[in-house]
Amino acid sequence: MKVIVIGATGTVGSAVVKELEQRHQVIQVGATSGQYKTDFTDIGQVRSLFQQVGKVDAVVVTSGSLHFGPLAQITPEQFRIGLDSKLMGQVNVAQVAQEFLNDGGSITLTSGILSDVPIRNGASASMVNAAINGYVTGAAIELQRGLRINVVSPTVLEESLGSYGPFFIGFEAAKGSRVALAYARSVDGAQTGQVYKVW
């Protein structure tokens, strides 16, 4: 299959690329590096990306920024970081991808454990991750031509503990290679509307 991975150079994305390229042609997209570059918060850039790449069999998004901070101090602008990037960036991709996916193709988005297991300083992340899960389960019943959509909800990655470990005290981290298997299940499998939890 021809698979496009947006966020391919990040921690999760690089693990997903390594897993998928064993079987598929993987096109790597990043914000500042990769075979193609795009700002997925701009739906015009997303459409331009797909026009350049052409028809694909699967789309995976592992990208998105979030703000972590005490609830009482979060500003509307800080809430918008996750809403504009991780939520609407992925929604932009999913909406445009429908036009460029071959029949039976799939879309796989990324949420995270905080949709179900809250932590201090994570209210914005919990909100955004839950919204992504909701979009996927809602979109799954409306997709046409046998298209499928799923979301992977990982815990913190072992490879990310240096940056995010202090937020996730008491959580069991997962290896990137284990998390990547959930994306493979979505791309290579047959399910739709699923939230694949890797906790």
133 close to 87: Cβ distance less than 8 angstroms: no
pTM for this predicted structure: 0.97
Over the stretch 63-108, which tens digit does the pLDDT of each residue have? 999 999 999 999 999 999 999 999 999 999 999 999 999 999 999 9
Percentage with pLDDT > 90 across the chain: 99
Domain residue ranges of the chain, discontinuous segments joined by + = 2-198
Percentage with pLDDT > 70 across the chain: 100
79 close to 24: Cβ distance less than 8 angstroms: no
pLDDT on residue 141: 98
- Residue written as tokens 């988005």? 109
pLDDT on residue 116: 98
Q: In whole angstroms, give the CA distance from residue 105 to residue 57.
A: 5
Q: In whole angstroms, give the CA distance from residue 110 to residue 153.
A: 6
- CATH class belonging to 2-198: alpha beta
Over the stretch 104-132, which tens digit does the pLDDT of each residue have? 999 999 999 999 999 999 999 999 999 99
DSSP three-state, residue 122: coil
Over the stretch 15-54, which tens digit does the pLDDT of each residue have? 999 999 999 999 999 999 889 999 999 999 999 999 999 9
| DSSP class of 174 | B
pLDDT on residue 173: 97
